Structure formats: C-alpha cells, structure tokens
Chain A
Amino acid sequence: MNIVHHAADHVKVCASIDPDLYSAGAYASPWVLIRPWQTFLAVASIGAGGGTQTFILQRATNASGSGLEVIPGTTVLIVGSANAQHLISLQQSAAVSPVVNFTHIRLSIITSGIRDMGAVLLGVPPQATPVSEDESSTVVEVVRV
C-alpha cells in the first residue's frame, strides 16, 4: 500500500443498515454492484436487546433482487451477543457464480427479538480511488486529516 493514501481512498461505504432499535423481522441494505470491488467487509454491530440474530450476505442478478440467494458460507448466527461486532470478509470471486450472472449483493440481518443494531458493507476497490464516486449516496461527509 502507498502510505500517502488515506484510508478513505482504500475503503468505501457501499451500503448500510442504519442504527436503530429493530423489532423482530428481517432487515436489508440496498443492493450494491459487485463489479467495482475486489473484496468486501461486512460489519454487523449488535447493541443491547433480546433474541438471536442471523447476519447474512445475499446476491441477486439485478438491483431489484431478482434470483435472490444467500451467498454460500456467509451465514453468521449470533446468540447471546451484546455490544459486539461480527465481520464477514468476502472475496469478489465468492460473490459471483460461474453458472448464474449474479451482479449485486446486500447485507441482511434477521432478528427474533427487539434489538439495537446496525451494519455497514465496506468495499475495497482494486486500487486506491480518491474520488468517492462509488461510495453510497448516504455518505454525506468525508473528512481527511
């Protein structure tokens, strides 16, 4: 890595599940194109509350979620966790398929009880890109120091 670059040049926020107190149910981020990213890091932040949570990454053949399926190996069952983080590190090669033309991924968390939680999907581009053009539109500010 060229150390003159900022972390913000190497790691982008692609999508998120905003922090909130969620009731039992399934929650998902917007769909994100797979192609611009070499690898992904999904971070689920689990706050206080009850129930169990299942943290997964899903893929689809378009931004509308067609052909949705869970990316094999990306299911994390969270039991008895509070004020902790759970990470899924995904290579682009594991997000796609040689059989089906999967083009998009998203985060999903299913909770069986009321729970404070949130998540972000971070994308690592193949090379440093100072312009934040592939960052989620919900990123309203990037401070570089």
Chain B
Amino acid sequence: MLTHVHAADNVAVISAIDPDAIGTSTVVSPYADAGDFHTLLAVISAGTLGTGASLAAKLVQATTQAGGNSKDIPGAAIVALTQAGGDSDTQALISLQNASLDVDNDFRFVAISITIATAACDAGAILLGVSPRVGPASDADASTVESVVRV
C-alpha cells in the first residue's frame, strides 16, 4: 500500500447497509465488483441489540451485480454478536482476499448479509475495497458515496 497518498486513494466504500433499526430479518447490501481491488474489508457495526437478540453477518458472492447465483463464501462469517454476550456497540470485521472467491466460476461480486434474530437491533455495515488494481480507490466508490473530502 502506498502510504504517502490519501486513505481515499487506497480505500473505497463499495457497498453499505445503512444504519437503521433492523427487525428480525435478513438484509443484504448491494453487490460490488471485487475485481477492482486486491482485498476487501467488511465492517459490521452493532448498535443497541434488542433483548435476547443476535446479529449474524457474512459475505456472499454472486456472478452478477444483481446477485445472480448467490452463495456463501466459505469461512466468511462472524460468530454472531449477541445481546446476552454484551456485544452491543461493537464492531466485527471480515477481511477477504479475492482468492477466496469462486473466480473459476465467475463469482466476482460480493455483498454483506446481516441476519437479525429474536429482536430488533440497531446496526449498519460498510464494505471497503482496499488497494485498488488501477487508479485511485475513490474511482470505485459506490454511487451512494455523496462526498469525499481530502485534507
């Protein structure tokens, strides 16, 4: 990684699950093209977890940006965060090397999947592309990134 450049040149926000009170359900972020980066980092942020609730998260892969043929990425799942375990207001990370994708079968799109069980939880997540193959990372920011300030 080049350290004399801005963080925004090396790290992009390529997908997200917006912060919200999420009911008992599974929420999947938009799929992002992993091919633009050497590695990906998912940051799953838990706010207040409801009584008895759990928050599970994983990365999934697909062959199209619309999520075609979606399937799990082996090993790319966290141990569920739980209210009983005192995991409110914490973060969990999933660091993914592209070699873990099923590229032989054209799986190049990645999304974050969060599943809430038992009770609603405040949660959100961002999927970061780290070390772009070409050009500054910010060229590959998701369309939902409305501003990038460099200081």
Q: A: which residues have CB within 8 A of B?
A: 1, 3, 5-11, 13, 16, 18-21, 38-41, 43, 45-48, 57, 71-74, 76, 78, 81, 83-91, 94, 116-118, 120, 122, 124, 126-128, 136, 138-145
Contacts and interface: CB of A to CB of B under 8 A. Distances in A.
A89 B95 contact: no
Given A87-B13, A138-B91, A143-B93, A8 B41 contact: yes
Contacts of A10: 1, 10, 39, 130-131
B145 A3 contact: no
B151 A87 contact: no
Contacts of A11: 11, 41, 128, 130
Contacts of B100: 145
B95 A8 contact: yes
A143 to B, nearest CB: 5
Contacts of A144: 95
Contacts of A9: 95
Interface of B: 1-3, 5-11, 13, 16, 18-21, 38-41, 43, 45-48, 59, 73-79, 81, 87, 89-97, 100, 122-124, 126, 128, 130-131, 138, 141-142, 144-151
Given A40-B7, A85-B146, A120-B91, 18 more contacts: A5-B39, A6-B39, A16-B45, A18-B45, A19-B124, A41-B11, A45-B126, A78-B147, A83-B18, A85-B16, A85-B144, A87-B13, A89-B150, A139-B93, A141-B78, A142-B92, A143-B75, A143-B78
Contacts of B146: 78, 81, 84-86
Contacts of A7: 39-41, 95-96, 128, 130-131
Contacts of B95: 6-9, 142-145
A45 B18 contact: yes
Contact of A118 (B47, B75, B128): B47
A81 B20 CA distance: 15
B73 to A, nearest CB: 6
14 contacts: A6-B39, A47-B18, A73-B151, A76-B149, A86-B146, A87-B8, A88-B151, A89-B9, A116-B18, A116-B20, A124-B1, A143-B76, A143-B94, A145-B59
